[in-house]
Structure 1
Amino acid sequence: MSTAAAPPGAGPQGSPDDGDRGSLRAALGGLTTRGRSFLAAGVAAAVCAYVLGQADLLRVGLLLAVLPLICVVVLHRTRYRVAGSRRLAPQRVETGAEARVHLRVDNVSRVPTGLLMLQDHVPYMLGPRPRFVLDRVEAGGRREVSYRVRSDLRGRFPLGPLQLRLNDPFGMCELTRSFSAYDMLTVVPRTEPLPPVKLSGESAGYGDGQQRSLALAGDDDIIPRAYRHGDDLRRVHWRSTARYGELMVRREEQPQRARCTVLLDTRGIAYEGAGPDSAFEWAVSGAASVLTHMLERGYSVRLLTDTGSSVPGEGAEGFTGAGRSAADSTDAAGLMMDTLAVVDHSDGAGLSRAFDVLRGGHEGLLVAFVGDLDEEQAALLARMRQRGGAAIAFVLDSGTWLTGGAVAGAVEDRLRTLREAGWQAIPVAPGVRLADLWQQAGGAAVQAPAADTYGGWA
């Protein structure tokens, strides 16, 4: 939400060249077509009256010429103040969904306003520029209007600044004032709800299969900590309290949270075509859906791209959403959605940087959304499987997305390479739903062998 106010007699705050706009010359430049026509007719009538020696015609000419000038002076000397604010509901919206923008104009002066023309600057991707007419706002009064915006493209779009056009009652003069404040609307990828399938090699968040960070075998194994507001008093450890001189409590078992890494291939050479229905947009939307789904299941997740970069501001080792509360998961999901809202093609030619990030250590579940792969990149992606437990790859052949055909033979070879390395490799055809592919990955995992050389399928 943004708010701005106008100083007395100068219009809303933040106008460019406020000094020039406050001058009488700038006010004369605000003459409308009607005002200029009256002024020209008055000057012409005065000239004709002088040439023909007609006093009555001279009076008519002076009246026509003076009327727009009086309107300019009156509008220029207007002494009311106007405050404006904008509120977005919501500030983050999925592609194809609508957001409502609420505008509020307050007359904070002691005199009523005249006719106000309200206009908000909106990028063309969000729709036409909204315009409103406000008829006389009383002293201390306010007016509220709203409009809707919608975008089929991801991104961050500025809304504003808000503009006011002041008109005199005769329509002779029009002055424009601009507020300085603006708001940012974030359009994130559309997410698809995924079925809660059991994937091989994974653990169910806080459920079975999780390692415990602390053992409570007896009093000798207890590691106390300082009391925090909200702790259960039944956990107070009196022996440690007496030793340290402050209230101490027993630390409970803290399960190690399951991890999931979502790899998004953003290489420009891996995708063809553009627009909301392109293969790249499907991959971005798929990554967003998996991230949201795994956070809801209690995972610590990490968004990784082919450039080796992940979401800024994440927790330890690049994972985020490590908190147990729903608010932590919501904040983590919002941070990743904001990143995916602006992600674009990279200039890289390979996945080596992502391979370096995944190298060394168990990374848990790995879900990859990749575009076209050559033989070298397919082999490199296959080796990433050794760095984690279960691994699922959604392979998009952008050529089939442009032609609407079936998966080509070269793609089948890449899928075979990944499957031989232990990946659950699934081809993605145009128009397919991620939920169906996710269900397919879970069904195939149940039929997988108990173990393999790449160590992870259960």
Structure 2
Amino acid sequence: MTAPGDPHRGGPQRARGGPWAALGGLTTRGRSFLAAGIAATACAYVLGQGDLLRVGLLLSVLPLVCVLVLYRTHYRVASSRVLTPARVPAGSEARVQLRMENVSRLPTGLLMLQDQVPYVLGPRPRFILDRVEAGGRREVSYRVRSDLRGRYPLGPLQLRLGDPFGMCELTRSFTTHDTLTVVPRVEQLPPVRLGGAATGFGDGRQRSLALAGEDDLIPRGYRYGDDLRRVHWRSTARHGELMVRREEQPQRARCSVLLDTRRLAHEGAGPDSAFEWAVSGAASVLLHVLERGLSARLLTDTGASVPDQGGDGFGGSGPSPESTDAGGLLLDTLAAIEHSDGAGLSRAHDRLGGEREGLLVAFLGGLDEEQLAVAARMRQRAGTAVAFVLDPGWWARSAGRLDDRGEGRLRTLREAGWTALAVTPGASLAELWRRADRERAAADAAPGTGGWS
């Protein structure tokens, strides 16, 4: 059985081992016929019964002929698989469409299809195609669903061939497969204004020096090609050389989302665990700030950053195809993120940089005294800092009430300048987002700090 060389279509490969290996495809009926035939032939030989011998030979040869004919079958069948959508939120369904095409000149016999699907997506789908005419097509579809994020392979597709008598079934697999990406759930966040040093293109925006933009009275030395109309004569007279007005342009507001992935900082597993809540929260914040025109990046406790290269991060120009692509890349990263074996947050602290600007949103797990001090120092590297703390002890409490030790940790973060909120099971990120805005506005009412929405 072969298939054409289209890269978007695959053909099943012949089972290895030759015809003798194909004997393993005998069904219960085929094995029964073969055993009965051998027994009848032996009895006929012992008893000298010619009629019984003919019956025994018929029973023995029929399943062997079915195996040989089925093994020698040379269908040319092509398959394709389409995922709709290829990226789906956890808890939502995706549709998988399979297309089988008979590209040979002969009709096929009975075909049984089985697609290889991970158990978390549901049972393996099976279909039966009675007969596909030459050049004909058949389409079947099934749905998959997972409450756990991740990247799941679909395929390869297995094709089971059967003879009309039901004596033998052979399984041949296609070589192609696809990947379904189950991304974290994203919660729509309300537009709020959190105070910060770098806050976008509206009120309170920062500016940085560049080669084009509005005039700035701070002069610089003349460079070949500068417009002479920008010569600053007063500075030229004072320095004794040509000086031109420096220029500036708006600086994009930045947001860093820190996700604490330390295994020891979280307890439990599954879609309702604290770690999955943190991953979903990080995804929600990243997409929210991208939609609002901020530059966003994802940072973990290991020091890994997306994007990894230098610069402000993704986005920064409001809703656009570029921000949509950036959001998709961030979601793909969060879909595959796992616990780390690290013990501290120092690498993330070093990766933040030394400038006190931008917005920092952190999703933190359990913090001991040492890591609490590191988190407190992180506040000095951001203009505005919001922390959602998911302590394992708090998360395990059904009432969601913090003890004195937990309140002390939050108090330490707040004294360092964080807007720190405790997260308990069932908490809504949208409500915590509004609460963070209210607490930040009450704690930092200094004029001219601006905000973002």
TM-score where L is the length of structure 2? 0.86
Partner of 1:50: 45
Partner of 1:425: 420
Task: Give 2:194's match in structure 1, choosing from 193, 196, 199.
Answer: 199
Q: Which amino acid aligns with 1:177?
A: R
Partner of 2:285: 290
In 1, the alpha carbon distance for the partners of 2:444 and 2:283 equals 30
Partner of 1:140: 135
Q: In the alignment, is the contact (CA less than 8 A) between 2:114 and 2:124 conserved in 1? A: yes
Q: Which amino acid aligns with 2:363?
A: F
| Post-superposition offset of 1:6 | 6.6
| Post-superposition offset of 1:322 | 4.2
Q: In the alignment, is the contact (CA less than 8 A) between 2:121 and 2:144 conserved in 1? A: yes
Q: In the alignment, is the contact (CA less than 8 A) between 2:256 and 2:359 conserved in 1? A: yes
| Post-superposition offset of 1:457 | 8.3
Partner of 1:301: 296
Counting only pairs closer than 5 Å after superposition, residues 57-456 of structure 1 correspond to structure 2 as 57-201=52-196, 205-212=200-207, 213=210, 214-217=212-215, 255-311=250-306, 313-314=307-308, 316-317=310-311, 319-322=313-316, 326-405=320-399, 406-451=401-446
Partner of 1:20: 16
Q: Structure 1 147/19 Cα, relative in aligned 2: closer, same or farther at 3 Å?
A: closer
Q: Single out whichever of 47-56 and 302-311 deviates more from structure 2.
A: 47-56
Q: Structure 1 449/71 Cα, relative in aligned 2: closer, same or farther at 3 Å?
A: closer
| Post-superposition offset of 1:13 | 4.0
Q: Deviations over 1:41-76 (max 9, x none)?
A: 112112222222222222222221221122122212
In 1, the alpha carbon distance for the partners of 2:380 and 2:449 equals 9
Q: Which amino acid aligns with 2:213?
A: A
Q: In the alignment, is the contact (CA less than 8 A) between 1:291 and 1:333 conserved in 2? A: yes
Q: Which amino acid aligns with 2:397?
A: T
Q: In the alignment, is the contact (CA less than 8 A) between 2:205 and 2:450 conserved in 1? A: no
Q: In the alignment, is the contact (CA less than 8 A) between 1:448 and 1:457 conserved in 2? A: no
Which secondary structure does the structure 2 equivalent of 1:61 belong to?
A: helix
Q: Structure 1 345/280 Cα, relative in aligned 2: closer, same or farther at 3 Å?
A: same
Q: How many positions carry a matched residue from both structures?
A: 417
Q: Structure 1 449/59 Cα, relative in aligned 2: closer, same or farther at 3 Å?
A: closer
In 1, the alpha carbon distance for the partners of 2:65 and 2:347 equals 70
Q: In the alignment, is the contact (CA less than 8 A) between 2:293 and 2:317 conserved in 1? A: no
Q: Deviations over 1:145-169 (max 9, x none)?
A: 1111111112111111110000001
Q: In the alignment, is the contact (CA less than 8 A) between 1:388 and 1:456 conserved in 2? A: no
In 2, the alpha carbon distance for the partners of 1:355 and 1:399 equals 25
Q: In the alignment, is the contact (CA less than 8 A) between 1:71 and 1:172 conserved in 2? A: yes
| Post-superposition offset of 1:29 | 2.3
In 2, the alpha carbon distance for the partners of 1:370 and 1:328 equals 29
Q: Structure 1 117/6 Cα, relative in aligned 2: closer, same or farther at 3 Å?
A: farther
| Post-superposition offset of 1:436 | 0.3
Q: Single out whichever of 288-297 and 255-264 deviates more from structure 2.
A: 255-264
Partner of 2:240: none
Partner of 2:33: 38
Q: Deviations over 1:6-63 (max 9, x none)?
A: 79xxxx7464xx4735x22122222111111111111211222222222222222222
Q: Which amino acid aligns with 1:163?
A: Q
In 1, the alpha carbon distance for the partners of 2:152 and 2:91 equals 14
Q: In the alignment, is the contact (CA less than 8 A) between 1:391 and 1:423 conserved in 2? A: yes
| Post-superposition offset of 1:96 | 0.8
Q: In the alignment, is the contact (CA less than 8 A) between 1:72 and 1:173 conserved in 2? A: yes
Q: In the alignment, is the contact (CA less than 8 A) between 1:310 and 1:318 conserved in 2? A: no
Which secondary structure does the structure 2 equivalent of 1:359 belong to?
A: coil
In 2, the alpha carbon distance for the partners of 1:132 and 1:6 equals 23
Q: In the alignment, is the contact (CA less than 8 A) between 1:154 and 1:187 conserved in 2? A: yes
Q: Which amino acid aligns with 1:48?
A: C
Unpaired segments ≥5 residues, structure 2: 221-226, 230-246
Unpaired segments ≥5 residues, structure 1: 222-236, 240-251
Which secondary structure does the structure 2 equivalent of 1:5 belong to?
A: coil
Q: Deviations over 1:196-249 (max 9, x none)?
A: 01112266533222245533459x99xxxxxxxxxxxxxxx9x9xxxxxxxxxx
Q: Does 1:5 align with 2:3?
A: yes
Which secondary structure does the structure 2 equivalent of 1:74 belong to?
A: helix
In 2, the alpha carbon distance for the partners of 1:30 and 1:102 equals 28
Q: Deviations over 1:244-285 (max 9, x none)?
A: xxxxxxxx9853211101111111111111111111111111
Q: In the alignment, is the contact (CA less than 8 A) between 1:153 and 1:276 conserved in 2? A: yes
Q: Structure 1 414/457 Cα, relative in aligned 2: closer, same or farther at 3 Å?
A: farther
Q: Single out whichever of 317-326 and 114-123 deviates more from structure 2.
A: 317-326
In 1, the alpha carbon distance for the partners of 2:327 and 2:271 equals 22
In 2, the alpha carbon distance for the partners of 1:403 and 1:352 equals 29
Q: Single out whichever of 85-94 and 64-73 deviates more from structure 2.
A: 64-73
Which secondary structure does the structure 2 equivalent of 1:372 belong to?
A: coil
